[in-house]
Every structure is written in C-alpha cells, then in structure tokens.
Amino acid sequence: MKLAPATPELPVRDVAEARRDDRDRMGFGITWHDEAGAIGAVSQGDCALFLRATGADPQPVTVWIFTDDIDRPRSELTARGADLADPVENKPRRPRRFTLRARNRNLIRFHRDFRAGAGLLPRHAKHRPKRFPVCRRARPPAPHATSRILALNAPPPAL
C-alpha cells in the first residue's frame, strides 16, 4: 500500500479570507472550496492545506511542512510580508526550521529534516546515526550474581 502525504485541516474564522491570505502572503494557489464557504483548500506543489470554518474563535493548530531548502521559502515568505514567528533555528539533533504565524493564528512550521534515512544529512553533520550493537548470546550469570539475586528476592526479615 502506498500512501500520499497527509493533508491537515486548519480551523479558520472565514475560509475565503484565509484562502486569500494564504495566496497573497504564502504563495499558495486556491485549489477549491464549497459553495457555502465552510471548507476549502490551498496548495503549492505536493503540499495542500484544508481550511474549515469553525466559528468565531477557533483554537489555533500547528502544522509542519517539509522542505528540502529552508532558506529559500523563508526569503520568499519574508518578501511577501508573511509574519515569521521565529528565525531559522540551527540546533544540533533537531531539524532546521522556522515558524510562520498565519493571520488566523495557526502556526506553520517549515522544516528541513536531517535524518540519514531521508537522504538529507548535511555533509558537515557531526551527529550521524549510531549503529545498533551486535546481539550476542547471553552468558549464564556468575554464581555470586545468582546468589545475590536470590537474596534480593527473599522475603523481608521479620521485625
């Protein structure tokens, strides 16, 4: 079975306004919407976001979007006037990322994965994955270890 990437559903006050904002400030294309204006979608490349009208004060959510180049989307979003909640983070053992704050209070994190399995491990990375130790046949415990285990399992002395 082959699955496509998951499509998150973001809660918004007004779907039409959120679609326009995502188009103008993030460069997403307006993909579709229903006639009632209760749900719609925006997309760019393989990335799609569903937008659903949930009422006056929806709870914000955080969505992670993978990109293979973290600096290019950041500069494009900044040029479009997007509200970046934090700068690009470069921390060991964590993906490079930055967070965009949408007008509907949802947070969109753009990240670049550095795991070796994704084939995106930087050449200069010091934190390469460790190999699993080779399994060896267990040796029987030493006689003194067995007596100690038995002593630990013995009932407590009466007071």
Within 10 Å of residue 26's Cβ, how many Cβ atoms? 19
Q: Which two tokens stand for residue 32?
A: 């579709």
Q: In the chain, where are the structural domains located?
A: 9-116
User: Do the strands 62-66 and 107-112 form a parallel or antiparallel pair, or are they unpaired?
Assistant: parallel
Q: With respect to CATH, is domain 9-116 assigned 3.10.180.10?
A: yes
- Predicted confidence (pLDDT) at residue 151 exceeds the cutoff of 80: no
| 3-state secondary structure (DSSP) of residue 22 | helix
Yes or no: say if 110 and 74 are a contact pair by the CB < 8 Å rule: yes
Within 10 Å of residue 16's Cβ, how many Cβ atoms? 14
Residue 81 half-sphere exposure toward CB, CA atoms < 13 A: 6
- The single-letter code of the amino acid at 121 is L
- Predicted confidence (pLDDT) at residue 150 exceeds the cutoff of 50: no
- Predicted confidence (pLDDT) at residue 1 exceeds the cutoff of 70: yes
In this predicted model, what pLDDT tens digit does every residue of 70-82 receive, in sequence order?
889 899 999 998 8
Dihedral, CA atoms, 111, 114, 118, 120, nearest 10 degrees?
100
Would you state the pLDDT for residue 115?
55
